[in-house]
């Protein structure tokens, strides 16, 4: 990081390198960076073919990390993710085979196509950042992030994510189809000789090492949060538990997620302090997947996003300078 003037510039450089492989999707790139900086996991919902796997591979390359992808299917077993202890018939000794989850960025593609038992294999990894095999705990690499996808267009053969697992995702974001100009640029690259069939990240350069990224993540977790902003985040989360349109509100993890995400966003924007806009900008992706709508809301066609936006409109944001003039 010594080659750059500030953490904000380092993160801008990561964005630029990812753009060498991934066209557009700036919002998704920022959400992925925020999640990684906050030490959390990201759930992405959207149609296939929008570059989610390419994003993860490019992001891993910028921080000198590695990534692995697992396609979740109805017959996928927990050991296909975590690994297993096997007997070597030649030596008569047991050996540990580590699964693909032992990586920096793990892609769980179409996670809701696997049954609950297989989905639960990720519980320990996402919460404790370790995997237990035959009574032995194996720590996962650092940083470690799960980016899980689910396809909203295909509902047959899918299993709903348990509430406990959804709560373990720091954020959930919806990825729409790209604008016409971005899709045109993708098509132009095919005309320039790129078949478009390969996940090419060769043009993506390494910006910093894993160790330096860990230092950047530590800096995000130590950014100053004014007591008024902390109260603002808690009030928003608490409002989900009393809203008549919500059957089950967000738990304390919701407040924690808001603060963690806001700190990462502040660092991403080159600030050493959190502002109220950071909280309001991230309230929907940080809280919408943690609530369960009432039957009345579903009948009225109100979605989780609209409910959270209504709560934001009712709760006044704190006022103040919040460290104006300071940068990270």
pLDDT in tens, 108-123: 998 888 888 888 888 8
State the angle between helix axes of 304-314 and 276-287 in degrees (0 to 180), rounded to the nearest 10: 150
**What pLDDT sits at residue 233?**
97
**What pLDDT sits at residue 222?**
92
Find the range with the poorest average confidence among 103-112, 117-126, 305-314. 117-126
Nearest Cα neighbor of 37 from 279, 165, 213, 282 is 213
Strands 83-88 and 93-98: what pairing? antiparallel
Q: What are the boundaries of each domain within the chain? A: 7-206, 223-314
pLDDT tens for 128-169 read: 999 998 888 999 999 999 999 887 655 566 777 878 888 899
**What pLDDT sits at residue 53?**
84
**What pLDDT sits at residue 135?**
85
Query: Quick check: 185 pLDDT over 70?
Result: yes
Residues 313 and 306 sit within 8 Å (Cβ to Cβ): no
Going through the chain in order, the beta strands assigned E by DSSP cover: 42-45, 67-71, 83-88, 93-98, 105-109, 130-133, 136-139, 145-150, 171-174, 246-248, 292-293
Residues 94 and 86 sit within 8 Å (Cβ to Cβ): yes
Q: Do domains 7-206 and 223-314 have the same CATH topology?
A: no
pLDDT tens for 4-35 read: 468 889 999 999 999 888 888 889 999 999 99
Query: What is d(CA 220, CA 264) in angstroms, rounded to the nearest whole number?
Result: 5
**What pLDDT sits at residue 276?**
95
**What pLDDT sits at residue 187?**
76
Strands 93-98 and 105-109: what pairing? unpaired
Query: Quick check: 274 pLDDT over 90?
Result: yes
**What pLDDT sits at residue 11?**
93
**What pLDDT sits at residue 328?**
59
Find the range with the poorest average confidence among 74-88, 142-156, 231-245. 142-156
Which residues, listed in sequence order, are joined to residue 86 by a DSSP beta bridge?
Answer: 95
Query: How sure is the predictor about 60, in pLDDT bands with cuts at 50, 70 and 90?
Result: very high
Nearest Cα neighbor of 189 from 20, 60, 52 is 20
Nearest Cα neighbor of 206 from 58, 107, 3 is 58
Percent pLDDT > 70 in the chain is 92
Q: What is the DSSP string of 160-214?
A: PPPHHHHTTSSEEEE--PPPHHHHHHHHHHHHTT--S-S---TTPPP-S-HHHHH
**What pLDDT sits at residue 22?**
85
Considering only the top CATH level, what class is 223-314?
mainly alpha
* Burial (Cβ within 10 Å: 0-12, 13-18, ≥19) of residue 91: exposed
**What pLDDT sits at residue 327?**
59
Which residues, listed in sequence order, are joined to residue 71 by a DSSP beta bridge?
Answer: 109
**What pLDDT sits at residue 326?**
62
User: Which of the listed CATH numbers 3.40.50.1220, 2.60.40.10, 3.40.50.300, 3.40.50.10540 matches domain 7-206?
Assistant: 3.40.50.300
Query: How sure is the predictor about 324, in pLDDT bands with cuts at 50, 70 and 90?
Result: low
Query: What is d(CA 324, CA 175) in angstroms, rounded to the nearest whole number?
Result: 33
Query: How sure is the predictor about 246, in pLDDT bands with cuts at 50, 70 and 90?
Result: very high
Which DSSP symbol is given to 92? T
Return the CA Rg of the chain: 21
Nearest Cα neighbor of 169 from 58, 248, 256, 249 is 256
């Amino acid at each position: 990081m010594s080659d750059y003037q500030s953490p904000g510039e380092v993160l801008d450089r990561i964005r630029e390198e990812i753009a060498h492989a991934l066209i557009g999707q700036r919002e998704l790139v920022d959400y992925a960076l925020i999640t990684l900086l906050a030490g959390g996991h990201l759930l992405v919902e959207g149609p296939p073919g929008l570059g989610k796997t390419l994003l993860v591979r490019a992001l891993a390359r910028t921080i000198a990390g590695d990534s692995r992808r697992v396609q979740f299917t109805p017959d996928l077993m927990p050991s296909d993710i975590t690994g297993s202890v096997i007997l070597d018939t030649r030596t008569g000794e047991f050996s540990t085979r580590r699964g693909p989850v032992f990586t920096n960025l793990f892609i769980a593609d179409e996670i809701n196509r696997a049954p609950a038992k297989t989905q639960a294999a990720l519980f320990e990894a996402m919460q404790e950042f370790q995997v237990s095999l035959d009574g032995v705990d194996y720590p996962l690499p650092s940083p470690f992030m799960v980016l899980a996808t689910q396809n909203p267009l295909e509902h047959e053969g899918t299993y709903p994510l348990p509430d406990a697992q959804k709560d373990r995702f720091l954020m959930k974001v919806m990825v729409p189809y790209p604008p016409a100009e971005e899709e045109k640029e993708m098509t132009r690259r095919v005309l320039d000789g790129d078949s478009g069939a390969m996940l090419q990240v060769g043009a993506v350069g390494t910006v910093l090492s894993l160790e330096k990224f860990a230092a950047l993540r530590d800096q995000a977790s130590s950014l100053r949060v004014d007591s008024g902003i902390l109260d603002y985040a808690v009030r928003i989360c608490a409002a989900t538990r009393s809203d008549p349109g919500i059957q089950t509100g967000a738990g304390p993890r919701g407040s924690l997620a808001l603060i963690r995400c806001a700190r990462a966003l502040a660092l991403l924007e080159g600030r050493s302090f959190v502002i109220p806009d950071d909280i309001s900008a991230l309230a929907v992706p940080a809280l919408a997947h943690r609530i369960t709508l009432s039957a009345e809301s579903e009948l009225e066609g109100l979605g989780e996003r609209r409910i959270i936006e209504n709560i934001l409109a009712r709760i006044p944001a704190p006022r103040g300078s919040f460290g104006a003039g300071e940068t990270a």
